[in-house]
Structure 1
Amino acid sequence: MRIGELSKISGLAPSRIRFYEASGLIRSVERKANGYRDYAPDTEWVLEIITGAQAAGFSLEEIRQLMPMNASGWQHDELLSGLKQKVEEIGVLQERLAQNKAQLLLVIKGIEGKPEGMACADNAQMLIDRLREERGGQAYGKRAVTSSTRKNARQASRA
């Protein structure tokens, strides 16, 4: 199938399809005598996998490492490991986002509930102090210990 047809089916711009081809994510295609690219029928599902993986947070390099060049080349263990790692990364990101949301809501509450007559600078200092308390007294600028940090420390101690 030609690139225009593949573009319509996949919803991707022809330039994006050419980019994926140049990046090695889809197989290089044979050009016909007239110069048109002729894509294999399975290219459509490959593009669906690529765009789905990107939507799930995989980088193009991660996709390249996990995707086979043909339907029979799947590496089960590497694929499963890569998927599990991405799920763990998403969990860590969700924890961080939940903490960020809680802090923003606290700031909003503090701004909306500023005592009458209190200077903005004093209210800001009060909010900063409250945020420090919420973070367990940890000074700003220090790195929070997350599950991924603990995991990395465990892995390093095993090595």
Structure 2
Amino acid sequence: MRIGELAKISGLAPSRIRFYEASGLIKSVERKANGYRDYAPDIQWVLEIITGAQAAGFSLEEIRQLMPMNASGWQHEELLSGLKQKVEEIEVLQQRLVQNKAQLLLVIKGIEGKPEGMACADNAQLLLHRLRDEGVAGTSGRRDAASSRKKTARQASEA
């Protein structure tokens, strides 16, 4: 199958297919006497795997490490390990996004609720203090330390 036909079937630009070939993601194809590349029909599913993996967040290097050069060369354990690792990375990213969203919502609420006559700079300082007190701003280490300080202060006042 010629590159134009493969591009049409796969929905990829011919330059993208050539890039994947040059990058070692798909097997290099010898040119025929007329100068055209002739791709095997099974290359279509390989391109689908590559584009699907990219859509799932895999880098080209990660895909290259997991993809066999032929259909019988799949390394089951490596593939499974790589997929599980990507799921873990996505979960960490999801947690970070939830934290970022919470922080942004608090900032929006603080800006919308700015007291009449308060300068924006003063409101910004107030917001930063609130975020710090609520454990949203900064790194998780700071949040944990602030949370620990609050618990210690609460326990001391209860004693």
Query: What's the TM-score once normalised by structure 2's chain length?
Result: 0.86
Give the Cα–Cα distance (whole angstroms) in 1 for the partners of residues 140 and 44 of structure 2: 43
Matched, 1:89 2:89: yes
| 1:90-131 residue CA offsets vs partner (Å, 9 max, x unmatched) | 000000000000000100111011011111111000111111
- The residue aligned with 1:73 is 73
- The residue aligned with 2:140 is 144
Matched, 1:130 2:126: no
Equivalent position amino acid for 1:144 in 2: S
Give the Cα–Cα distance (whole angstroms) in 2 for the partners of residues 101 and 93 of structure 1: 12
- The residue aligned with 1:42 is 42
Give the Cα–Cα distance (whole angstroms) in 1 for the partners of residues 35 and 63 of structure 2: 29
- The residue aligned with 1:154 is none
Matched, 1:26 2:31: no
Matched, 1:110 2:106: no
Give the Cα–Cα distance (whole angstroms) in 2 for the partners of residues 40 and 56 of structure 1: 26
Task: Let me know the Cα RMSD of the aligned residues.
Answer: 1.2
Look up the SS of the partner of 1:38 in the other structure: coil
Look up the SS of the partner of 1:31 in the other structure: coil
Equivalent position amino acid for 2:52 in 1: G
Give the superposition deviation at 1:135. 2.0
Gaps of 5+ in 2: 142-159
Matched, 1:6 2:6: yes
Give the superposition deviation at 1:133. 1.6
Identity %: 87
Structure number with larger C-alpha Rg: 2
Give the Cα–Cα distance (whole angstroms) in 1 for the partners of residues 126 and 110 of structure 2: 8
- The residue aligned with 1:153 is none
